[in-house]
Structure 1
C-alpha cells in the first residue's frame, strides 16, 4: 500500500510539471502570433512617398504657375516669377545634402512650405497633409527659412529699455510747425500702454472736454497709419493673427521674414496694396476703410494693470492738446469729426 501511495504522488508531480511546461509553450506560441500580426514600422509613411505625384508643390503649384497666376499669388502671396527669383537667391543657403537614409527636400519645396505657413498660419500637421512632408521636418525647415499680452511684452523688451534710458538715438526735441516750444518725439499708442513722454496715448473716454476729444481724434488719425501697416501685414501673412507655438527666437525669425516679404511686395507691386489701405474722403475727411479691415482682425491688446503715467507725460499730452486746439496747430475739419 505504501508503495502504491508513492507511485500516485510521483504521477501527480509529473502531471503538474507537464501542465506547467504546456502553459509555457502556449504562452510562447501566443506571443509569436502577436508579433507576426504586429504591423511593420515604416521609416516614413507610404503616402508621403507619393509626394512627387500628389504633393501641393509638385502638382498644384506647377499647375497654377502655368494656368492661374492669380491662384498662385493667393496661395503663396507672390507671383510665380518672384517665387523663382527668391528661389534662386535662397537656394544655396537652404539646400541640404542627401544622406544614405533619405533624399533631402528640394529647396523649392522648402520655400513653398514656408511661404504657405506665413500666408495662412496653418499648423505643421495640416501642412504635412498638403505638401506630404512629415510635420517634424516642417518644424525644422520653417525656422531655417524664414503668452503675455503685447503691452506686457513691450514692458520687458529692449526697445522700451532703450527709450527709458535715452539710448535709442531719437532726434532731439524740436518745435511743432508754427510753434517755438521744443517737443520730444514720441510713439503713438493706445490705451494698452502706459504713457510716457516718449509714448502718447488718448485721454480716458469718461467726461472728456471738447479739446480732449479733438486731441484723441488727432492721435487716432496718426495711429491709423500704424494700424494700416500691421493690418496689411496680417492680411497677407495670416500666421501673425494667431498665437505662435514656436520658441521666441523662431517667432522673431518668422516675423522678420513676414516684414521682409511685405516690403518686397510693396516695392515690386506698389499699386497692388493701395486698395488694402484706408483712404480719406477729400471733401468730408471721413475714413474709407481699407480692404484689410474686412478680414479677420488682429487680436486686441489687453490693458496693462496699474497707472504709472509720469507728470512729464501728462504735461506733454496737455501741451499737445492745447496745440491741436490752437489756430497754429488745428486742421479745418477737426471740429466736425468729434
Structure 2
C-alpha cells in the first residue's frame, strides 16, 4: 500500500469518528438552574407582586395596567384555557404566573430574557407560553367584551352615543386602520414593508363612541391599504348583505328624508351610502368645510382608541420581535383587554377627555387633496349632501363656526 493510500485510510477513519461523535447526544450540565428553582421563594409572582398588592396599589396598577380585582376576574376566566396538567416529572407553571408574565409583557414590552430574570422562568419557556396565553385571553374575553353587535338594540345604543357625545346622528361606528410595527419576518421580502418605511401588520377596526372596538380585522401585511382590507372584510359583506341587523334608515333629527345609518371614515375609504368620508377638494365652500369638521370630530374616536391601546400596552411602542401569527395573537389579546378594562371602568385605564381636536388637525382634514380611484355613486353623494345640509341647519352647533 502506497503512502497516499495509507493517508486516505487515516483520513476516512478520522471522519468516521467525528461523524460518530456528532450523533452522540450531549448530556445536560443541569436540568434546571438553581436560581430558577428558587422561583417560589424569590420570584416576582410570589413576592414583588404580593408586596405591591398590599403596600402600593398604584404601582400594582402600573405593573399590570389593571387593578387587583380586574386581574383576579381575568384569571378566573382565562385559567381553564391556559392551565396545564402536572406530570410525574415536574409540576406545571401556575396559571396565575403565566398570566402575570404575559400581562407584564404586554404592558411593558420587556423582552423574554428580561422577564426571565424578573419571574425566574426560562426565556424559552416564556417564548412558548406567551402566545398561548394571548390566545387564551382572546378566547375567554371575546364573546362578552369584543362581540360584533348583532341586534338592532345594540346598534341603536351606539348610534345614540354618537349623537349625544359627538353630535353625529345615524352613525354606528368610526373606522380606521392602524399599522403595528414588527421586525422583518423571515423570507418575506418586502411583503410587510409599508409606505411609512417600516415592516408592519395592519388592524382595521370599527370603534364605538366610547373608544371600544366593535369589529377588528387583524393580520393584513403592511403593503395593503385600508380600503382594500375593508373591501375584503367580513364587516363589508355583513353590511351589504344586512346580516348584522343595522337599523333601517330614518330621518336625521328635525328632517323629513330617510337617511341610512353610516360609518365615518377618512379619505382612504370609498364613499358609500353606509360610509361617509370627507369632501376631498381644496378651497371648499363653507358648508363642505363644516361637514368635514363634524365628520372629523366623530371619526377621531377611532384614532383615540388606537392611542389609548398603544399607550397602555407598550409592547406596541417598538417593533414586535415575533412571528406574524404570534404578533396577531398579541394584538388581539390587547384589543379584548382594552374593551374588558373600559367596560369594567378600571380606574387606571383612564379615558381621553372629550375635547376638540387641535386646529392643525382639523384644518388638515378640511384641506385634503383630491383622491383618485374611489368613485362614488350618486346615491352615496346624496346621503353626504343630506348630512351636510343637516349640519348647516337643524344640526348646527355654535362652536362649529370657530373651527373652520
Tell me the TM-score normalised to structure 1 length: 0.72
2:220 equivalent to 1:176: no
Which of 139, 142, 155 is matched with 2:131 structurally?
A: 139
The answer to whether the Cα contact below 8 Å between 1:217 and 1:337 also exists between their aligned partners in 2 is yes
Which of 315, 322, 333 is matched with 2:399 structurally?
A: 333
Structure 1 or 2, whichever has the larger Rg, is 1
Q: Identify the residue that residue 196 of structure 1 maps to in structure 2.
A: 272
Q: Identify the residue that residue 230 of structure 2 maps to in structure 1.
A: 154
Q: Which range moves more in the overlay, 45-54 or 224-233?
A: 45-54
Rounded to whole Å, the distance in 1 between the matches of 2:326 and 2:239 is 23
2:350 equivalent to 1:279: no
Q: Which range moves more in the overlay, 193-202 or 263-272?
A: 263-272
Which of 342, 348, 354 is matched with 1:266 structurally?
A: 342
Q: Secondary structure at the match of 1:187?
A: strand
Counterparts in 2 of 1:154 and 1:16: CA distance versus 1, 3 Å? same
The answer to whether the Cα contact below 8 Å between 1:214 and 1:334 also exists between their aligned partners in 2 is yes
Counterparts of 1:1-338 in structure 2, within 5 Å, are 23=10, 27=14, 40-41=27-28, 46=33, 48-52=36-40, 55-122=43-110, 127-128=115-116, 130-131=118-119, 132-133=121-122, 134=124, 135-146=127-138, 147=221, 148-239=224-315, 245=322, 251=328, 254-255=330-331, 257-269=333-345, 273=349, 276-280=351-355, 286-287=356-357, 306-326=373-393, 328-338=394-404
Rounded to whole Å, the distance in 1 between the matches of 2:74 and 2:312 is 17
The alpha-carbon deviation at position 16 of structure 1 amounts to 5.2
Counterparts in 2 of 1:76 and 1:180: CA distance versus 1, 3 Å? same
The answer to whether the Cα contact below 8 Å between 2:65 and 2:348 also exists between their aligned partners in 1 is no
Tell me the TM-score normalised to structure 2 length: 0.62
Q: Greater helix share, 1 or 2?
A: 1
Rounded to whole Å, the distance in 1 between the matches of 2:111 and 2:375 is 39
The alpha-carbon deviation at position 40 of structure 1 amounts to 3.8
Rounded to whole Å, the distance in 2 between the matches of 1:304 and 1:170 is 29
The answer to whether the Cα contact below 8 Å between 1:228 and 1:278 also exists between their aligned partners in 2 is no
Which runs of 5 or more structure 1 residues have no equivalent in the other structure?
1-12, 281-285, 290-302
Counterparts in 2 of 1:272 and 1:109: CA distance versus 1, 3 Å? closer
Counterparts in 2 of 1:65 and 1:160: CA distance versus 1, 3 Å? same
Q: Secondary structure at the match of 1:306?
A: coil
Rounded to whole Å, the distance in 2 between the matches of 1:218 and 1:256 is 30
The alpha-carbon deviation at position 166 of structure 1 amounts to 3.0
Counterparts in 2 of 1:31 and 1:250: CA distance versus 1, 3 Å? closer
Q: Identify the residue that residue 294 of structure 1 maps to in structure 2.
A: none
Q: Give the paired residue count.
A: 303
The alpha-carbon deviation at position 23 of structure 1 amounts to 4.2
The alpha-carbon deviation at position 22 of structure 1 amounts to 9.9
Which runs of 5 or more structure 2 residues have no equivalent in the other structure?
139-220, 360-369
The alpha-carbon deviation at position 184 of structure 1 amounts to 0.3
Q: Secondary structure at the match of 2:278?
A: coil
Rounded to whole Å, the distance in 2 between the matches of 1:277 and 1:314 is 33
The answer to whether the Cα contact below 8 Å between 1:202 and 1:216 also exists between their aligned partners in 2 is yes
The answer to whether the Cα contact below 8 Å between 1:278 and 1:288 also exists between their aligned partners in 2 is no
Rounded to whole Å, the distance in 2 between the matches of 1:121 and 1:173 is 45
Counterparts in 2 of 1:139 and 1:19: CA distance versus 1, 3 Å? same
Counterparts in 2 of 1:320 and 1:89: CA distance versus 1, 3 Å? closer
